[in-house]
Amino acid sequence: MGFAVMPLIRLVRAGYIMAREGVFGLAQLPDLPAGPRIAIACARMLERRSVRDKSAQSRLSDALNRLGPSYVKLGQFLATREDVVGKDAARELSSLQDSLPPFSHEAARKAVAEQLQRPVEEIFVEFGQAVAAASIAQVHPAVVRSRDGTERKVAVKVLRPGVARRFQRDLESFYLVARIAERFHPPSRRLRPVAVVDTLAKSVAMEMDFRLEAAGLSEMAENTAGDPGFRVPEVDWLRTSKGILTMEWIDGRKMSDVGGLRSDGLDLEALGANVIQSFLRHTLRDGFFHADMHQGNLFVEADGTLVAVDFGITGRLSPRERRFLAEILFGFITRNYRRVAEVHFEAGYVPADQDVDMFAQAIRAIGEPIHGHDASEISMARLLTQLFEVTELFEMSTQTQLIMLQKTMVVVEGVARTLNPHLDMWKTAEPVVGTWIRDNLGPVGKIKDAGNLVGSMLRIANDLPIFADRIGRMSYELESMTQNGLRFDKATAEAIGKAEARHTRSGRVALWVIALSLAAIAVKQFL
């Protein structure tokens, strides 16, 4: 009973805090049924007067930060799921700042010692105060001594004490809401709220294991080893564990400091192009990209090299999805709208019973206005929104694997535009997308595909003896079953017996209920 009551109590508290911060005042009352409209009107009576002058983003940010790390992450996660919360709410949530007060220095030192199983003084020459704090972790500057006696500065990311336990507790409340929605609100079942919470739970669990983030940094470093003007910090694996991540300290300027970058004499237009092209290169070439490339996670070194940090959130695309994405982007660049439409059908994004020519016409209505204009006049965010609106008209199902990519593309464009307001997104993207198309869909790509096919056939040939052995065993089992009948082990037989007994009892009860009902009807008729 306590397990069911406590999540409910925590939900009531969350509702109270949201009401106090004016979150319910953001709801569009005329569009809601009478019941929810009355409930929201009552909740608004709890609003603090000071919140009425706040923007929607400030209200959401303040409420979720007051509720703690779990709700901050929930808000950031839902910002990538506009299919669940709607476009307006997703836009407001996307501006949510993941910033919390740091926990104590002593707590951080204790966490480091416990995780690395040594006193802090043995691990680091110096261990400074926190310089940044978010919902899951905070970062400390430190100094380590190498075997040759040289010292170097590092960044130490420390997991918040107790954050995993708190996430687990709050997830119980999220699951409760999701189950209630699925049970009592049939339209929400299409959005699969329980599955949404499952995805959040998995994402947060991975983000709180810093070994996985370290592995992501290592993989990105290998992928981009030969890329001009881009790199990631080097991981110090000996000082890294599940709750501690130690990596190279970056002496660079944050990309949010545009004035400082300009005063450093850096080419802002080239930096903007580098942001766009690096992201597209990672997405198309590697199928592995940084999914949180906002200005706070990007540094610029003195020579103009772009350094990405905080790999807690990453995205992946399969080779098939990369191919479709490249063809769609290249189709827009070359104004081949028929091909863009065909790719949507080939990928299965749009049902086969829709009209390809009509869909191509709709795509043209989106693509034509962007040509001959720069990014100050045409927004990638607006273009993507229009594309999704058009595909909805043609019954395109939600592609969850592309939502994170879509959101990241919008963020990347925003970062590039702060550096160069007149950046032409399509002209900047063409070298990367065009090269990938030529290498993978042109003659060279066909030769690669042929080589991959030959390799796959050789692997199958090597596995043929194993397949033959399995088929032989299967044939023997089928022959034995034909001669002796189907046999179950003892546990299976007992389980079937118990299930049959329950079914029999249920059937008897149902028959008695029917019999008593008929008898009651007969008596009533007789009287």
Q: Return all residues near 160 (Cβ < 8 A) that are at least 6 apart.
A: 69, 103, 135, 136, 137, 138
Q: Return all residues near 440 (Cβ < 8 A) that are at least 6 apart.
A: 323, 326, 448
- Rounded to two decimals, the pTM is 0.71
Q: Are 403 and 81 in contact (CB under 8 A)?
A: yes
> Is 4 buried (19+), middle (13-18) or exposed (0-12) by CB count in 10 A?
exposed
The confidence score (pLDDT) of residue 291 equals: 87
Residue 290 pairs in a beta bridge with: 314
The confidence score (pLDDT) of residue 526 equals: 44
The confidence score (pLDDT) of residue 385 equals: 64
Q: Return all residues near 108 (Cβ < 8 A) that are at least 6 apart.
A: 127, 130, 138, 140, 158
Helix, strand or coil, per DSSP, at residue 93: helix
Q: 334-367 pLDDT, tens per residue? A: 788 899 889 888 888 788 888 999 989 988 888 8
Residues designated as active site:
292
Mean pLDDT, all residues of the chain? 78
Which residues, given as ranges, of the chain have pLDDT below 70? 1-4, 25-37, 43, 51-57, 80-99, 187-191, 372-385, 388-389, 391-392, 396-403, 442-464, 467-469, 475-527
What is the end-to-end Cα distance of the chain in Å, rounded? 47
Q: How many CB atoms lie within 10 A of CB 427?
A: 12
The confidence score (pLDDT) of residue 63 equals: 77
As a whole number of angstroms, the distance between CA 327 and CA 29 comes to 42
As a whole number of angstroms, the distance between CA 487 and CA 437 comes to 56
The confidence score (pLDDT) of residue 430 equals: 81
Q: Return all residues near 79 (Cβ < 8 A) that are at least 6 apart.
A: 90, 93, 94, 96, 407
The confidence score (pLDDT) of residue 508 equals: 52
Helix axes of 319-334 and 400-419: crossing angle, nearest 10 degrees: 50
